[in-house]
Chains A and B, each alone.
Chain A
Amino acid sequence: MSDHTYSPAQGQSVLWMRLLLWALLILFAIWFLLPAYVVVGTSLKDLEEIRGGSLLALPHELNFSAWKHAWNEACIGVRCTGLEPYFWNSVFMALPAVFISTLLGALTGYALTKFQFRGANMIFALILFGCFVPFQVVILPMAQTLGRLGITNTVYGLILVHSVYGLAFTTLFFRNYYVTIPDELVRAATIDGAGFFTIFRRIILPLSPPIIVVSVIWQFTQIWNDFLFGASFTTGGAQPITVAMNNLVNTTTGVKQYNVDMAAALITAAPTLFVYIVAGRYFVRGLTAGSVKG
């Protein structure tokens, strides 16, 4: 609308609208940033400064001792190891689960779209509903199954759980992406005698990097941030970092160390925030792909 000419009165009202617009944008930005500011600020203060000063005051100096404490000294339950071992638990849980669910999702999505066999749509609908099942409904049988398999309270148990329940989402991502690849490509290759896996490797995979990135980021964020499964199937040393962090914050022995709590929260949030900042574009695409079906 820049090609309009405004009368002076109109020009003034446009100016006011712009000011109002920016005021609102900044106000919301403050609201979104407030927790980040408070958490980072608190994690850099010592306890005296926290008790004596204002929540919103800047720290007097950059004091990282709370971070160090949260990383390898703080007590989680009775174990005073800091978050470090739990951080690695989460890493060793997330990486295989992301890989397995993404690979299976890609293959399933490919088979469901490029080889429309009978019942393919029904199968997709049944898998899709798996995205929306409240996990409370699978927890009890899963606990029993993990027990029978002998992998209760291990990282392997959580890898299995996250691979299975991530599969519904990854299948959705890949299926919706592969639908947009022209069938002619696959048909031409079939006529040339290429088989299922050859086509996947030579034609489909080279076209897939964007959706692979979306799937990996989505799965990593979901699995890293999971709390329910971690809290239900693990205790003690096998816990993922979200559960350990929550226990650290709620451990009530001794003086409440708010700075350590906040440093722990930051350490827990760091990997997914890092991914978001580096690859935010794909993250947003995953969010919208996961919600607007088709």
Chain B
Amino acid sequence: MSRPPIPFTDRIARALPQIVVAPSFAAILFFVYGFIAWTGYISMSKSKMLPNYDFVGIRQYWRLFQMDRWSVALENLFIFGFLFIAVAIVIGCLLAVLLDQRIRAEGFIRTIYLYPMAISFIITGTAWKWIMNPSLGLETVVRGWGWESFRFGWTNDETLAVYALVMAAVWQSAGFVMALFLSALRSVDQDIIKAASLDGASPWKIYTRIILPSMRPVFMSAVVILAHLAIKSFDLVVALTGGGPGYASTLPANFMYEMTFRRNEIGVGAASAMVMLATVAAIMVPYLYSELRGKKHV
């Protein structure tokens, strides 16, 4: 004997969660994964000024890696990415430890350290560009104090422009790293710390042996988030150095924009975007995988 058929309205009711998720999921499938495939296809096509779907294999990638502008962009990304991540983490960690010393007015100081995170990279870039103005900026001020050889006009110098980017990016993100580390510091088990201090461990030892090692997961998160920020960096370059002088401080994201919207090289632009995606995926996929898997075991 067959079971009585489930009424239609019940079936709808039972499927409601799926029905509700469907539009969002469909949007993500189309606008993220579909578009990735689409860009991937353009990167293997003849496209120049307009998309053109004649398949040419990896020719655009070959051309991409022949371009000096792209090599410079990649090299800059490594310098910028490495320094940005390292310095932001060192400063962020230091600030978190400093603020963790039972400071009066902690909330107030934290507000000051974190406000750059609320503003656009475009503003950050504009502000630092003005501070680094060669004739009216900080350079002139400090020279006026008697330090004649002081140089801060970094944005106009081919070798220093990348460091100007690092400096502004660290300024914007160090507070964020601090917030991450501070919340992790606060969640370290106080009993262990008490026990160690009763055993006569110095505060320095407690920090380096107990507290900092326990922050490995936060440390990983910070590295991944900052790396992701570094690869996506676009607006900061636009506002601070314009990628210049020449293209000395250009980054892959700016290269992509330049090729796609200014030079009618859509195919090369798409190829560069795919390389960026691959770089992000190489960092994010293992991280997300371990995060999601790790959670299930808890």
Chain A residues with a Cβ under 8 A of chain B: 1, 21, 24-25, 28-29, 31-36, 38-39, 42, 50-51, 54-56, 104-105, 107-108, 110-112, 114-115, 117, 120-121, 123, 125-130, 132-142, 144, 164-165, 167-168, 171, 195-197, 221, 224-228, 231-232, 242, 245-246, 249-250, 258, 261-262, 265, 268-269, 272-273, 275-277, 280, 283-284, 287-288, 291-294
Chain B residues within 8 Å of A55, by CB: 131, 133, 136-138, 140-141
Q: Which residues of A contact B138 (CB under 8 A)?
A: 55-56
Please give the number of chain B residues whose Cβ is less than 8 angstroms from any Cβ of chain A in the complex: 99
What are 29 A-B interface contacts by the 8 Å CB criterion?
A24-B98, A25-B99, A29-B109, A32-B115, A32-B116, A35-B116, A104-B24, A111-B16, A127-B28, A129-B32, A134-B232, A134-B253, A136-B252, A138-B32, A140-B39, A165-B32, A224-B120, A227-B238, A231-B238, A242-B122, A245-B122, A269-B123, A275-B118, A276-B115, A276-B117, A284-B179, A287-B117, A292-B221, A294-B294
With A and B bound together, what is the CA distance between A191 and B251 in angstroms?
57
- The complex places the Cα of A28 from the Cα of B170 at a distance, in Å, of 12
**Is residue B222 within 8 Å, beta carbon to beta carbon, of the partner chain?**
yes
Task: Please list the 4 inter-chain residue pairs (A to B) with the smallest Cβ-Cβ separation, ordered nearest first.
Answer: A225-B120, A276-B118, A115-B17, A227-B235
Q: Are A139 and B260 in contact (CB under 8 A)?
A: yes
Known contacts A142-B35, A227-B122; can you find 13 more A-B pairs with CB under 8 A? A25-B103, A32-B116, A51-B136, A55-B137, A123-B21, A125-B288, A127-B25, A129-B284, A132-B228, A136-B273, A140-B273, A262-B130, A269-B118
Distance between A191 CB and nearest chain B CB, rounded to angstroms: 14
Binding site for A on B (CB under 8 A): 13, 16-18, 20-21, 23-25, 27-29, 31-36, 38-39, 42, 51, 91, 94-95, 98-99, 101, 103, 109, 111-124, 126-128, 130-131, 133, 136-138, 140-141, 144, 171, 175-176, 179-180, 183, 197, 203, 217-218, 221-222, 225, 228, 231-232, 234-235, 238-239, 242, 252-253, 256-257, 260-261, 266, 269-270, 272-274, 276-277, 280, 284-285, 288, 291-292, 294-295
Do B20 and A108 have beta carbons less than 8 Å apart?
A: yes
Q: Is the CB of A28 within 8 A of B113?
A: yes
Interface of B is mostly: helix
